[in-house]
Protein backbone atom coordinates (compact mmCIF):
# COMPACT_ATOMS: atom_id res chain seq x y z
CA UNK A 1 0.00 0.00 0.00
CA UNK A 2 1.51 3.32 -0.99
CA UNK A 3 1.41 6.48 1.11
CA UNK A 4 -1.47 8.68 0.17
CA UNK A 5 -3.51 5.76 -1.06
CA UNK A 6 -7.08 5.71 0.15
CA UNK A 7 -6.99 1.97 0.62
CA UNK A 8 -8.18 0.77 3.99
CA UNK A 9 -6.54 -2.14 5.75
CA UNK A 10 -8.58 -5.22 6.48
CA UNK A 11 -7.49 -7.17 9.54
CA UNK A 12 -8.21 -10.57 11.04
CA UNK A 13 -7.89 -10.93 14.81
CA UNK A 14 -7.66 -14.50 16.12
CA UNK A 15 -8.03 -15.05 19.85
CA UNK A 16 -10.23 -17.32 21.95
CA UNK A 17 -11.00 -14.41 24.28
CA UNK A 18 -13.66 -12.05 22.92
CA UNK A 19 -12.37 -9.36 25.27
CA UNK A 20 -8.82 -9.64 23.88
CA UNK A 21 -10.19 -9.42 20.34
CA UNK A 22 -12.02 -6.26 21.38
CA UNK A 23 -8.84 -4.87 22.92
CA UNK A 24 -6.80 -5.50 19.78
CA UNK A 25 -9.53 -3.94 17.62
CA UNK A 26 -9.55 -0.94 19.91
CA UNK A 27 -5.76 -0.56 19.68
CA UNK A 28 -5.94 -0.83 15.89
CA UNK A 29 -8.67 1.79 15.86
CA UNK A 30 -6.45 4.15 17.86
CA UNK A 31 -3.55 3.74 15.45
CA UNK A 32 -4.62 6.41 12.93
CA UNK A 33 -4.11 3.82 10.22
CA UNK A 34 -7.09 3.72 7.81
CA UNK A 35 -8.99 0.57 8.66
CA UNK A 36 -11.52 -1.30 6.60
CA UNK A 37 -13.12 -4.37 8.12
CA UNK A 38 -11.72 -6.05 11.22
CA UNK A 39 -12.72 -9.71 11.11
CA UNK A 40 -12.60 -12.02 14.12
CA UNK A 41 -12.02 -15.71 14.73
CA UNK A 42 -11.77 -17.60 18.00
CA UNK A 43 -9.17 -20.18 16.93
CA UNK A 44 -6.87 -21.11 14.07
CA UNK A 45 -9.30 -23.45 12.36
CA UNK A 46 -12.03 -20.83 12.32
CA UNK A 47 -9.50 -18.34 10.93
CA UNK A 48 -8.51 -20.67 8.10
CA UNK A 49 -12.16 -21.17 7.15
CA UNK A 50 -12.75 -17.42 7.20
CA UNK A 51 -9.67 -16.76 5.10
CA UNK A 52 -11.25 -18.75 2.28
CA UNK A 53 -13.89 -16.03 1.96
CA UNK A 54 -12.20 -12.72 2.79
CA UNK A 55 -9.22 -10.63 1.82
CA UNK A 56 -7.03 -9.18 4.55
CA UNK A 57 -3.81 -7.19 4.88
CA UNK A 58 -2.71 -8.33 8.35
CA UNK A 59 -3.47 -11.15 10.73
CA UNK A 60 -3.08 -10.89 14.50
CA UNK A 61 -3.10 -14.17 16.39
CA UNK A 62 -2.78 -15.45 19.92
CA UNK A 63 -0.73 -18.62 20.44
CA UNK A 64 -2.62 -20.64 23.04
CA UNK A 65 -6.07 -21.37 21.67
CA UNK A 66 -8.27 -24.46 21.64
CA UNK A 67 -8.83 -26.48 18.45
CA UNK A 68 -5.90 -24.96 16.54
CA UNK A 69 -3.11 -22.87 18.05
CA UNK A 70 -1.66 -19.72 16.56
CA UNK A 71 1.58 -21.49 15.66
CA UNK A 72 -0.37 -24.21 13.84
CA UNK A 73 -2.36 -21.53 12.02
CA UNK A 74 0.78 -19.74 10.88
CA UNK A 75 2.36 -23.02 9.78
CA UNK A 76 -0.78 -23.75 7.72
CA UNK A 77 -0.52 -20.31 6.08
CA UNK A 78 3.14 -20.97 5.28
CA UNK A 79 2.12 -24.00 3.26
CA UNK A 80 -0.01 -21.84 0.94
CA UNK A 81 1.78 -19.54 -1.46
CA UNK A 82 -1.18 -17.16 -1.65
CA UNK A 83 -0.45 -15.92 1.87
CA UNK A 84 3.26 -15.31 1.38
CA UNK A 85 2.92 -11.51 1.57
CA UNK A 86 0.40 -11.41 4.41
CA UNK A 87 1.67 -9.65 7.52
CA UNK A 88 1.30 -12.08 10.44
CA UNK A 89 1.58 -10.84 14.00
CA UNK A 90 1.71 -13.03 17.07
CA UNK A 91 0.27 -11.44 20.19
CA UNK A 92 1.22 -13.50 23.21
CA UNK A 93 2.09 -13.38 26.87
CA UNK A 94 4.95 -15.77 26.10
CA UNK A 95 7.88 -13.47 25.45
CA UNK A 96 10.54 -16.17 25.77
CA UNK A 97 13.39 -16.33 23.30
CA UNK A 98 12.50 -19.93 22.47
CA UNK A 99 8.96 -18.95 21.45
CA UNK A 100 10.24 -15.98 19.47
CA UNK A 101 12.68 -18.24 17.64
CA UNK A 102 9.85 -20.64 16.85
CA UNK A 103 7.82 -17.75 15.46
CA UNK A 104 10.84 -16.43 13.58
CA UNK A 105 11.00 -19.64 11.57
CA UNK A 106 7.58 -18.78 10.15
CA UNK A 107 7.17 -16.26 7.31
CA UNK A 108 6.60 -12.53 7.70
CA UNK A 109 6.04 -12.86 11.38
CA UNK A 110 6.15 -10.07 13.95
CA UNK A 111 5.81 -10.51 17.68
CA UNK A 112 3.97 -8.36 20.20
CA UNK A 113 4.11 -9.29 23.88
CA UNK A 114 1.04 -8.97 26.09
CA UNK A 115 0.36 -6.71 27.83
CA UNK A 116 1.04 -4.17 25.13
CA UNK A 117 0.47 -0.48 24.69
CA UNK A 118 -1.70 0.59 21.73
CA UNK A 119 1.44 2.04 20.13
CA UNK A 120 2.74 -1.49 19.58
CA UNK A 121 -0.17 -2.25 17.25
CA UNK A 122 0.24 1.12 15.52
CA UNK A 123 3.93 0.41 14.89
CA UNK A 124 3.12 -2.95 13.35
CA UNK A 125 0.38 -1.54 11.10
CA UNK A 126 2.63 1.33 10.09
CA UNK A 127 4.91 -1.18 8.34
CA UNK A 128 2.09 -1.67 5.82
CA UNK A 129 1.92 2.00 4.88
CA UNK B 1 -19.43 -23.89 39.42
CA UNK B 2 -16.55 -23.58 41.81
CA UNK B 3 -12.93 -24.40 41.36
CA UNK B 4 -11.57 -27.10 43.63
CA UNK B 5 -9.11 -25.55 46.03
CA UNK B 6 -5.63 -26.24 44.73
CA UNK B 7 -3.12 -27.59 47.18
CA UNK B 8 -0.95 -24.62 47.86
CA UNK B 9 2.71 -25.35 48.19
CA UNK B 10 5.02 -22.41 48.42
CA UNK B 11 5.76 -20.96 45.02
CA UNK B 12 9.38 -20.55 44.06
CA UNK B 13 10.58 -17.44 45.82
CA UNK B 14 11.45 -15.70 42.57
CA UNK B 15 7.86 -16.02 41.34
CA UNK B 16 6.57 -14.52 44.57
CA UNK B 17 9.20 -11.80 44.56
CA UNK B 18 8.46 -10.79 40.98
CA UNK B 19 4.69 -10.80 41.39
CA UNK B 20 4.20 -7.21 42.70
CA UNK B 21 5.97 -5.57 39.76
CA UNK B 22 4.23 -7.88 37.30
CA UNK B 23 0.78 -7.10 38.75
CA UNK B 24 1.55 -3.37 38.51
CA UNK B 25 2.77 -3.68 34.92
CA UNK B 26 -0.18 -5.75 33.71
CA UNK B 27 -2.65 -3.47 35.49
CA UNK B 28 -1.16 -0.37 33.90
CA UNK B 29 -0.48 -1.58 30.38
CA UNK B 30 -3.49 -3.79 29.78
CA UNK B 31 -6.15 -2.16 31.92
CA UNK B 32 -4.96 1.44 32.42
CA UNK B 33 -5.22 0.75 36.15
CA UNK B 34 -2.84 1.05 39.09
CA UNK B 35 -1.97 -1.67 41.56
CA UNK B 36 0.17 -2.02 44.65
CA UNK B 37 0.73 -4.77 47.20
CA UNK B 38 -1.21 -4.56 50.43
CA UNK B 39 -1.00 -6.24 53.82
CA UNK B 40 -3.49 -8.98 54.72
CA UNK B 41 -5.27 -6.64 57.14
CA UNK B 42 -5.66 -3.94 54.49
CA UNK B 43 -6.96 -6.56 52.07
CA UNK B 44 -9.55 -7.71 54.61
CA UNK B 45 -10.59 -4.08 55.12
CA UNK B 46 -11.04 -3.62 51.35
CA UNK B 47 -13.15 -6.78 51.19
CA UNK B 48 -15.30 -5.58 54.10
CA UNK B 49 -15.65 -2.10 52.59
CA UNK B 50 -16.70 -3.61 49.28
CA UNK B 51 -19.42 -5.62 51.06
CA UNK B 52 -20.61 -2.65 53.13
CA UNK B 53 -21.38 -0.67 49.98
CA UNK B 54 -23.80 -3.34 48.77
CA UNK B 55 -27.03 -4.93 49.93
CA UNK B 56 -25.54 -8.42 49.47
CA UNK B 57 -21.93 -9.62 49.74
CA UNK B 58 -19.83 -8.91 46.65
CA UNK B 59 -19.61 -11.70 44.09
CA UNK B 60 -16.06 -12.81 43.30
CA UNK B 61 -14.38 -14.56 40.41
CA UNK B 62 -11.48 -16.97 40.66
CA UNK B 63 -9.39 -17.43 37.51
CA UNK B 64 -6.82 -20.20 37.39
CA UNK B 65 -4.14 -20.78 34.75
CA UNK B 66 -1.97 -23.88 34.77
CA UNK B 67 1.55 -23.48 33.45
CA UNK B 68 4.44 -25.70 32.45
CA UNK B 69 7.92 -24.47 31.74
CA UNK B 70 10.94 -23.53 33.79
CA UNK B 71 8.58 -24.08 36.72
CA UNK B 72 5.23 -25.81 36.60
CA UNK B 73 2.09 -25.22 38.60
CA UNK B 74 -0.88 -22.92 38.58
CA UNK B 75 -1.69 -19.31 39.38
CA UNK B 76 -5.02 -18.20 40.74
CA UNK B 77 -6.38 -14.67 40.79
CA UNK B 78 -9.31 -13.78 43.00
CA UNK B 79 -11.14 -10.54 42.23
CA UNK B 80 -14.59 -9.02 42.77
CA UNK B 81 -16.93 -9.11 39.78
CA UNK B 82 -17.22 -5.33 40.01
CA UNK B 83 -13.49 -5.01 39.44
CA UNK B 84 -13.67 -7.41 36.47
CA UNK B 85 -16.37 -5.14 35.05
CA UNK B 86 -14.19 -2.03 35.48
CA UNK B 87 -11.20 -3.76 33.93
CA UNK B 88 -13.30 -5.01 31.02
CA UNK B 89 -14.49 -1.52 30.24
CA UNK B 90 -10.90 -0.24 30.38
CA UNK B 91 -9.65 -3.10 28.22
CA UNK B 92 -12.08 -2.46 25.40
CA UNK B 93 -12.45 1.29 25.72
CA UNK B 94 -16.16 1.03 26.44
CA UNK B 95 -18.12 3.20 28.84
CA UNK B 96 -18.97 2.42 32.45
CA UNK B 97 -22.63 2.02 31.48
CA UNK B 98 -21.82 -0.76 29.03
CA UNK B 99 -23.13 -4.06 30.27
CA UNK B 100 -20.74 -6.99 30.12
CA UNK B 101 -22.04 -10.52 29.89
CA UNK B 102 -20.98 -13.18 32.38
CA UNK B 103 -18.82 -14.71 29.66
CA UNK B 104 -17.09 -11.38 29.05
CA UNK B 105 -16.47 -10.95 32.78
CA UNK B 106 -14.97 -14.44 32.87
CA UNK B 107 -12.85 -13.51 29.84
CA UNK B 108 -11.48 -10.48 31.68
CA UNK B 109 -10.60 -12.49 34.80
CA UNK B 110 -9.06 -15.24 32.69
CA UNK B 111 -7.03 -12.81 30.64
CA UNK B 112 -5.75 -11.11 33.80
CA UNK B 113 -4.55 -14.48 35.13
CA UNK B 114 -3.13 -15.38 31.71
CA UNK B 115 -1.13 -12.16 31.43
CA UNK B 116 0.18 -12.36 35.00
CA UNK B 117 1.33 -15.91 34.37
CA UNK B 118 2.92 -15.17 31.01
CA UNK B 119 4.79 -12.08 32.14
CA UNK B 120 6.00 -13.83 35.31
CA UNK B 121 7.34 -16.87 33.48
CA UNK B 122 9.02 -14.71 30.84
CA UNK B 123 10.73 -12.74 33.62
CA UNK B 124 11.85 -15.88 35.46
CA UNK B 125 13.68 -17.26 32.45
CA UNK B 126 13.43 -15.47 29.12
CA UNK B 127 15.30 -18.25 27.35
CA UNK B 128 12.73 -20.98 27.90
CA UNK B 129 9.29 -21.27 26.29
CA UNK B 130 6.34 -22.34 28.40
CA UNK B 131 2.83 -23.65 27.96
CA UNK B 132 -0.19 -22.01 29.52
CA UNK B 133 -3.45 -23.89 29.85
CA UNK B 134 -6.71 -22.10 28.99
CA UNK B 135 -7.94 -20.17 32.03
CA UNK B 136 -10.63 -21.76 34.20
CA UNK B 137 -12.91 -19.18 35.74
CA UNK B 138 -15.59 -19.65 38.38
CA UNK B 139 -17.65 -17.60 40.78
CA UNK B 140 -16.60 -18.13 44.39
CA UNK B 141 -18.20 -17.48 47.74
CA UNK B 142 -16.92 -17.06 51.27
CA UNK B 143 -14.17 -14.61 50.35
CA UNK B 144 -14.97 -12.30 53.25
CA UNK B 145 -14.69 -15.08 55.80
CA UNK B 146 -11.24 -16.05 54.50
CA UNK B 147 -10.04 -12.57 53.57
CA UNK B 148 -6.41 -12.02 54.39
CA UNK B 149 -5.94 -15.37 56.12
CA UNK B 150 -4.34 -17.65 53.56
CA UNK B 151 -0.62 -17.90 54.22
CA UNK B 152 0.28 -18.42 50.59
CA UNK B 153 -1.79 -15.58 49.16
CA UNK B 154 -0.32 -12.28 48.02
CA UNK B 155 -2.64 -9.34 48.33
CA UNK B 156 -3.03 -6.29 46.13
CA UNK B 157 -5.08 -3.15 45.92
CA UNK B 158 -6.06 -2.61 42.28
CA UNK B 159 -8.01 0.57 41.59
CA UNK B 160 -8.94 0.63 45.29
CA UNK B 161 -10.36 -2.88 45.09
CA UNK B 162 -9.01 -6.10 46.64
CA UNK B 163 -7.22 -8.77 44.58
CA UNK B 164 -5.53 -11.93 45.85
CA UNK B 165 -3.07 -14.10 43.95
CA UNK B 166 -1.92 -17.58 44.94
CA UNK B 167 0.25 -20.26 43.40
CA UNK B 168 -0.55 -23.94 43.47
CA UNK B 169 1.69 -26.97 43.05
CA UNK B 170 4.84 -25.29 41.78
CA UNK B 171 7.40 -27.94 40.95
CA UNK B 172 10.78 -26.86 39.62
Put simply, the chain A residues between 69 and 88 with a CB less than 8 A from any chain B CB are: none
Beta bridge partner(s), residue B115: none
| DSSP per position, A47-115 | HHHHHTT---SEEEE-S--SSS-HHHHHHHHHT-GGGTT-EEEEEES---HHHHHHHHTSTTEEEEESS
- The CA distance from A94 to the nearest CA of chain B, in Å, is 5
**CA B166, A94, A89 angle in degrees (round to 5)?**
140
pLDDT tens-place string over residues B8-40: 444 678 899 999 999 999 999 989 999 999 999
A110 Cβ under 8 Å from any chain B Cβ: no
Between A and B, how many CB-CB pairs are < 8 A?
79
Helix-helix angle B81-92:B13-31, to 10 degrees: 60
Q: What percent of chain B has pLDDT over 70?
A: 84
Residue A33: other Cβ atoms inside 10 A: 20
Mean of per-residue pLDDT scores for chain B: 85
Contact B106, B140 (CB under 8 A): no
Pairing of strands A9-14, A35-41: parallel
| DSSP per position, A25-60 | HHHHHTT-S-EEEEEEESSHHHHHHHHTT---SEEE
Contacts of B169 (CB under 8 A, 6+ apart): B6, B7, B9, B72, B73, B74
Contacts of A81 (CB under 8 A, 6+ apart): none
A113 Cβ under 8 Å from any chain B Cβ: yes
The complex's ipTM works out to 0.82
- The CA distance from A2 to the nearest CA of chain B, in Å, is 30
Q: How far is CA A57 from CA A87, A125, A128, B89, in A?
A: 7, 9, 8, 28
Judge: B111–A20 Cβ closer than 8 Å, yes or no.
Answer: yes
Judge: B108–A19 Cβ closer than 8 Å, yes or no.
Answer: yes
A36 Cβ under 8 Å from any chain B Cβ: no
- Identify the pLDDT of residue B172: 57
Question: Domain extents for chain B?
Answer: 13-171
Which domains does chain A possess? 9-126 (3.40.50.2300)
- The CA distance from B47 to the nearest CA of chain A, in Å, is 26
Q: How far apart are CA A128 and CA A57, in angstroms?
A: 8
Q: Which helix (H) or strand (E) holds B77?
A: strand B72-80
Is residue B152 scored above 50 in pLDDT?
Answer: yes
Judge: A22–B92 Cβ closer than 8 Å, yes or no.
Answer: yes
Residue of A26, A98, A99 lying closest to B92 (CB–CB): A26
pLDDT tens-place string over residues A11-67: 999 999 999 999 999 999 988 889 999 999 999 999 999 999 999 999 999 998 989
Judge: A23–B92 Cβ closer than 8 Å, yes or no.
Answer: yes
- Identify the pLDDT of residue B128: 85
Mean of per-residue pLDDT scores for chain A: 89
CATH of domain B13-171: 3.40.1550.10
Residue of B107, B130, B134 lying closest to A18 (CB–CB): B107
3-state secondary structure of B22: helix
Amino acid sequence: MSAGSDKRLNLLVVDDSAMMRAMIKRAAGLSNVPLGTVYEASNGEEALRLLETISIDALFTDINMPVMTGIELLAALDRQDRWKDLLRVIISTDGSNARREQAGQLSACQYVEKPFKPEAIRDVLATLL
Amino acid sequence: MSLPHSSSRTAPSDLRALLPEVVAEVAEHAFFAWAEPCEPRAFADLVAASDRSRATPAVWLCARVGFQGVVSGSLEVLLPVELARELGVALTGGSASDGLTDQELHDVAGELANMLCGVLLTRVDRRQAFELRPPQVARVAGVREQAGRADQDQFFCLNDRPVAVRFGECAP
